[in-house]
Structure 1
C-alpha cells in the first residue's frame, strides 16, 4: 500500500491511496485541471482510479468530485446524508457510479480493506477512512473538532497517519477572522489545534515506526514550522520524542508529497 497527500489545506484536499490494482482518492477538493496536474506529479494515471471516497460535503473536499466522476467515469462513494448534502454541488453523476458507503462499515477491494468512521465536524454526516492491507494500517483523519475515545479506538496503532493539525490557538485568537468563525473553528465541530492533535496522537501511536503527516493547516492561523514545533513539544511532554519512532512530515496546499510505502 502506497499513498500521497496530493493537497491539504483550507483551499482543497485530496489523498491518493493505492494497493495492487486498486487506486482511490479520499476527497477531490480541487478543480479537475488541478487534480490532473497533481496526478502527473506523482506519476500516476488518473484514468485508472477505482473510486473517490468522500468524507463530507464542504467545498474544499468535493470541488472536483463531479468533474472527475463524469470525465473519467470514476465511482463515487459517500454515506446517504453526505450524498443528500452534496448532490446539488457536484452536478449530475450517473446512477451506476453512485455508491453508498455507510458510517462505521468496511468495504473490501481486492486485498485492501477500507473502514469508515465518524468524526465531529459541522457537516451532514462527516466520516473519514482507515486503510488496511496485510497487517499495515493507514489512517486519514482531518476536519474534526476533537478526537473522541471511540475515534482513538479505531485509529490506534496505525503505521501512517494523515492527521489534522489545523491551527495555532494564539494565532487564531489574535487573527483577523470574525469571532463567529473563530468560535466555530475552536468548537467541538470545528478543527483540532496543533496541541490537541498532538495529545490525540500520543494516545494512539504505538512504539513502532510511525509516520505522521501534519495536514489541513490553516493558511491564516498556522505555519508548517509552527505546527511541527508545537506537535513535537507536546509529544515530548508526554515522553514521545519525534525522530525516535514517530516521524513528522509536512503537507502542502499545492504540491503532493512523495508517493510512500505504508
Structure 2
C-alpha cells in the first residue's frame, strides 16, 4: 500500500491510497483539474482512480466529488446514507450518477479485492461524519481529521496502525488570540469542531505502536497554526510521552497544494 496526501488544509483535502489492484481517493475537496494535476505529480493518471471514500459533506472534503463522478464513470464513490442524502437534497455538488453511489455505513467493514476498508463515526458538525482505516497486504493506514474529540471507540478503531493521517488543526494560543469571532473560535474548540495540536498528539500517544512508521500531520489551519508548531508538538509529545514508537518513524508535514511523496506504508 502506498499513500500520498495530495492536498490538506482548510482549502481542500484529498489523499491517494494505492494498492496493487486499486487507486483510491479519500475525500475529494479540491477541483477536478487540481486533483488531476496533483495526481500527475506523483505519477498517477486520474483515469486509473476507481474508488473514492467520502468522510463528510463539508466542501473542503466533498467539493470536487461530483465533477469526478460525472467526468470519470469508473469511479465508485462511497459515503454513509446521511452524507449522501444531504448532498443530494442540497444539490451541493451537482447531480450525481446514481450507478456510482454506494452506501457505506459507520462501523462497517468492506473488502474490495486486496483492499479492506473499515468505517467509524466521528464528532463534527456535518450531516453524518465518519472516517476510515484502509488495510492491504497486512498493513493498516488510519485516517482521522475533522473531529472535535477522539472517543475510546475511535481509538480502538485506529490503534496499532502502520500509518496515520491525523488532524493537527490549530494551536490553542493562536486560535484564542487570532482574528476569528468568538462564536467561530468556540465552534472550532467544541466537541463537534477540530483537533488542536495537543489533542492530536495526545491521541497518537494512545494509539501508536512499534508498527507505526508514518504519521502525516493533516488539516492544518491557515490562520490558527503553523507547520513548525504542529510538527514540534507532535515530535515533542511523542518523545516526552515515551510513545511506543520505532526509531525510524517519519512525521510528515502536508501542504494545501503540494502532494507528499508517494510513500510505501
- Please tell me the TM-score bracket, short chain as reference: over 0.9
Partner of 1:228: 231
Counterpart in 2 of 1:212?
215
Over residues 167-205 of structure 1, what are the superposed CA-to-partner deviations in whole Å (9 max), with x where a residue is unaligned? Answer: 000000000000111000000110010011000000001
Q: Provide the rounded CA distance (Å) in 2 between the counterparts of 1:98 and 1:248.
A: 35
Between the aligned partners of 2:245 and 2:174, the Cα distance in structure 1 is 24
Looking at structure 2, the residues matched to 34 and 200 of structure 1 have their Cα atoms a distance apart, in angstroms, of 32
Structure 1: 5+ residue runs without aligned partners? none
User: How far 1:258 sits from its partner (Å)?
Assistant: 0.6
SS in 1 for 2:258: coil
Shift of 1:241: 8.6
Deviations 1:70-97 (A, max 9, x none): 0111221111100011121111111111
Match of 1:156 in 2: 159
Separation in 2, partners of 1:42, 1:127: 27
Preserved CA contact (<8 Å) 1:208 1:245: no
C-alpha distance after superposition, 1:14-63 (max 9, x if no partner): 01111112111011101111111111111101111111111000000011
Which residue is 1:71 aligned to? 71
- Is the aligned partner of 1:125 residue 2:128? yes
Provide the residue aligned with 2:87 in structure 1.
86
Query: Structure 1 pair 233/242, CA: closer, same or farther in 2 (3 Å)?
Result: farther
1:97-119 Cα deviation digits (max 9, x unpaired)? 11111111111111110111111
Superposition RMSD on alpha carbons, in Å?
1.3
In structure 1, C-alpha distance between the alignment counterparts of 2:139 and 2:40, rounded to whole Å: 26
* Cα distance in structure 2, aligned partners of 1:35 and 1:209: 28
Q: Distance in 2 between matches of 1:69 and 1:79?
A: 16
Match of 1:185 in 2: 188
Distance 1:209 1:81, change over 3 A: closer
**Count of residues in correspondence between the two structures:** 262
Residues 1-262 of structure 1 correspond to what in structure 2 (within 5 A)?
1-73=1-73, 74-87=75-88, 88-240=91-243, 244-262=247-265
Deviation at 1:10, TM superposition (A): 0.3
Give structure 2 stretches of 5+ with no counterpart. none
Deviation at 1:245, TM superposition (A): 4.6
Are 1:16 and 1:24, in contact at CA under 8 Å, matched by a contact in 2? yes
Distance 1:189 1:114 in 2: 24
Separation in 2, partners of 1:177, 1:243: 39
1:27 and 1:155 mapped to 2: Cα distance? 18
Identify the range of structure 1 (62-71 vs 205-214) with the bigger mean alpha-carbon deviation.
205-214
> 2:120·2:131 contact (CA, 8 Å) conserved in 1?
yes
